[in-house]
Structure 1
Amino acid sequence: MTSHDHGPEPGAGDRSVRKLGLVAVINLFGFVVELVGGLLFGSVALIGDAFHMLFDALAYVIALGATLVARRSNPGGRWSYGLYRVEPFAAFLNGLLLVPMVGYLLFESYRRYLSPVEVDTTMTLVLATGGLLVNVGSVLVLQGGEMSLNERGAFYHLLGDAGASVAVIVSTLVIRFTGVVAVDPATAVVIAGLIVWSALVLLRESGAIFFQQSPVDPAAVRTALADLDAVDSVEDLHVWSLSSQISVASVFVTDATTSLDERDALVGRVHEVLESEFGITHATVEVVSERHEHRLA
């Protein structure tokens, strides 16, 4: 038997679209404000925070596009699973987009270290605090319920943004009270490190889906199925993900049932265990009796 639920729960796509769209708009606004402020008031750390917001906003736009494509793709023909793999692909691109920003920040930090620029601490503090509020507001928009891979990617970005804004605020206070302007490019380097961390998390999660890493422990799945009455053995078990919200499995079960009704009931229990305990919503279960009477159920 094969369960045919190819998609996430009803309404999940609509919520994801609204969340990602709102967060993208918020961060684009924050980027413009912080970039102009950083250029006007001499803070490379603030410019770094602004570019962090820009790439995050672009990431959310890409994630939004991926979500819309996946929602509107109907499985069939050569695209038997639809286009749900667009989601991890977009997340992978988002991770790659963070790399050039790190290079820019490191270069600009080095240039500012060699040729220090006077920083307007008052306005930098105001804008950095505003950036922190933007990040907190975005986190409030995203939180709640189970997040998709793209939403988690956005969440990681926002955590990095919040940390970057706090770092800018602290460094600006240090400059204000000590006059050591080298703290500003040093803070930009710290922000670059936060960006690298965000990129690695996103690349790791999307890569796990692309390379078909099992989203659950196969040994635990095998044990749960083997504990079912009438199951003699569990073989050829495969579990993988189409996207962060759709897990797929195929399994070969040797059973000790004596009738077709018993076998159908067993197949139903296998599907129930896979979905309720492991979140596997699409599964193909092949059952063979001890007498080797094959049946694809």
Structure 2
Amino acid sequence: MGDGHSHNGEGRSTRKLAIVAGINLVGFVAELVGGLLFGSVALIGDALHMLFDAVAYVLALGAVYVGRRTEPGSRWSYGLNRLEPLAAFLNGVLLVPMVGYLVWESYQRYLQPVEIEPLQTAALAAGGLVLNIASVYVIQGGSMSLNERGAYYHLLGDTGASIAVIVSMLVVQFSGSKLADPITAVIIAVIIVWSAVELIRESGAIFLQRSPVSVEDVRQRLLEVGGVASVEDAHIWELSSSLRIATVHVRDHATTVAERDSLNERISTILASEYDADHVTVDLVSAGNDTERRREH
């Protein structure tokens, strides 16, 4: 099946990720400087979250760029589309050391609270919140690729973290309790863990070739097609979030080449239109003998 739509989608994905990466780098620098100046570990944590997000987006950009420009060949029969889930997996793994740092630093602040400038910190966090909302606006909408969903999860975490920092600084300002800062940092760490687990789960499912749809549903749907005697074998898996592959082995009642070609086309159309398969292979075998005919799309 044609894949021109995949390239257009990847182009939009690249532009979105580039814009969001730039926004996150600006937010990282501002919040890191502010966190160090004003003594807030929660703001430093939010800054680190933005930094790792930006690094993750750059990895995703590289994966999309290389994957799109590497044509299928004798050594890489599907190109380098696997780079997308690999980048997403690394994206999730890179969040782990940040969590460790935040928890450790929060524990140190709990044992020995430091002076904080709450109003200045809250103002910077509010600026970070605006940047996060702008990034969410850029990335959301329509069908998102795996890396776009990864970015979206990160941005939701960043948005929640910025709100938590603002609230904690108001608590410090009006109650005088400095414990709100490390407590908020731990909350941010929990948000980061949630983001990492979700991303690792999705990218891991692609690596382990989990079927994105119920194979039994596919079997039952194909059995409804006139001329299909039985579905001997069916597999659907993903090389990336934008490239889905389907192979089926079908016994048929076709008696002529024309009937078999028509059946092949109908099965291929169903797999492409109803199950979003980009590459379809159909093996047709007469129900009366073992003569096999293969068609690829």
TM-score by length of structure 2 reads 0.97
1:246 Cα deviation after fit: 0.8
The aligned length equals 294
| Structure 2: tracts of 5 or more residues without a match | none
Shift of 1:238: 1.1
| Residue 254 of structure 1 pairs with residue 246 of structure 2 | no
> Which residue of the other structure, out of 291, 294, 297, is the alignment partner of 1:296?
294
Aligned to 1:33: 30
Corresponding position of 1:199:
196
- Which amino acid letter does the alignment assign opposite residue 33 of structure 1? A
Distance across 2 between alignment mates of 1:139 and 1:218: 34
Corresponding residue for 2:220? 223
Is the CA contact (8 Å cut-off) linking 2:235 and 2:246 kept in structure 1? Answer: yes
The one-letter amino acid paired with 1:236 is: D
Aligned amino acid, residue 19 of structure 1: K
Question: Contact conserved, 1:239 with 1:249, CA < 8 A, in 2?
Answer: yes
Structure 1 unaligned segments of length 5 or more: list them: none
- Partner residue, 1:118: 115
2:142 is matched with 145
Whether 2:70 is the aligned partner of 1:66: answer no
The answer to whether the Cα contact below 8 Å between 1:7 and 1:246 also exists between their aligned partners in 2 is no
The residue aligned with 2:15 is: 18
User: Does the residue aligned with 2:280 lie in a helix, a strand or coil?
Assistant: strand
Q: 3-state SS of the aligned residue for 2:274?
A: helix
- Check conservation: 2:210, 2:237, Cα contact below 8 A: yes
Output aligned runs, 1:1-297, within 5 Å. 3=1, 5=2, 8-292=5-289, 293-297=291-295
Closer/same/farther in 2, CA of residues 100 and 7 from structure 1, 3 Å limit: farther
Cα pair 1:34 1:50 within 8 Å, conserved: yes
% identical equivalent positions: 60
Contact 2:119 2:170 in 1 (8 A): no
CA distance in 2, matches of 1:275, 1:290: 24
Q: Matches of 1:172 and 1:217 in 2, distance apart?
A: 48
1:153-205 Cα deviation digits (max 9, x unpaired) = 00000000001011101111111111111010000000000000000000000
Aligned to 1:147, what secondary structure does the other structure show?
coil
Deviates more, 1:266-275 or 1:6-15: 6-15
- Structure-1-length-normalised TM-score: 0.97
Structure 1 segments of 4+ aligned residues over 3 angstroms from their partners? 5-8
Distance in 2 of aligned mates of 1:6 and 1:217: 23
Q: Would the aligned equivalents of 1:153 and 1:202 in 2 still touch at CA under 8 Å?
A: yes
1:7 to partner: Cα distance: 6.6
Aligned partner of residue 171 in structure 1, secondary structure: helix
How large is the RMSD of aligned CA atoms in angstroms?
A: 1.0
Paired with 2:294 and 2:279, the residues of 1 have a C-alpha distance of 15
